[in-house]
Amino acid sequence: MTSTEERKVVAVTGASSGIGEATARLLASKGAALVLGARRTDRLDRIADELGSADIATVATDVTRRGDLDRLVNTAVDRFGRLDVLVSNAGISYLGPLADGDVEGWSAMIDVNVNGVLYGIAAATPIFKRQGSGHFVTTVSTAGLKITPTMGIYAATKNAVRTVMETLRQESTDGVIRTTSINPGFVSTELGNTIDDPEIRARIQRNMDAFGLAPEAVARAIAFAIEQPPDVEIGEITIRPTVQD
């Protein structure tokens, strides 16, 4: 990925911390040109400064706003001439029993976890088709693979995205667009900060502290999928701690 001809131009949402930040740092070390998107632009600017590369652009991005995703992918084209990969990583979790009726939290998860991915697909697909190539890499979750109490709606949003990605794969067998779903298990990130229930938040944090993967482990999986030759598609990767049940 380091030569000019091989260099990938990658846009990353949710890039201000956790898996998104780790992915940005790893891909930068491999010579990729980056467009980093998140709401916390101060963190994005700090990351860009620390990486010290002229091949990094930052864009204020709220994935619940379609126009922000349009601006993110268009920045890649305007700045670097193309967009090779869109890593849709932004996500939130509001956990609790369905009986709590947290309609506001449910709606927020649908807006970020589902619509945020769909807006990215809508924004980048025309660019990918015009170029004749492109790659969607999306952070999903093991939460949708194993259904557990209090995580029902969060898991539902992730399974919705899993369905979208598989549909896009089947609709893209002409070799132009590749799709990859990344299913992380427990990872030490800030995702638990959006959990309102103090008991559930404490339980999730204990698990993260006890055996959560470093975000860099997931970043390596993302980089592996991106680095495959054009005729190879890594459809799905599940990565979890070895002790996670």
What is the spatial distance between Cα 198 and Cα 36, in angstroms, rounded to a whole number?
32
What is the spatial distance between Cα 233 and Cα 222, in angstroms, rounded to a whole number?
12
- Which residues, 6+ apart, have CB-to-CB distance to 131 below 8 Å? 82, 83
Under DSSP, the state recorded for 145 is: T
What 3-state DSSP class applies to 35? Answer: strand
Tell the residue number behind the tokens 């298990």, with chain if given: 185
Contact indicator for 182, 12 with CB cutoff of 8 Å: no
Closest among 26, 161, 30 to 89, alpha carbons compared: 161
CA-CA-CA-CA dihedral for 238, 131, 167, 8, to nearest 10: 10
Q: Of 154, 156, 172, 191, which one is the catalytic site residue?
A: 154
> Is residue 154 annotated as a catalytic residue, yes or no?
yes
**Across the chain, which distance is largest between two alpha carbons, in Å?**
55
Query: Which pair of structure tokens corresponds to residue 3?
Result: 């030569």
Active site residues: 154
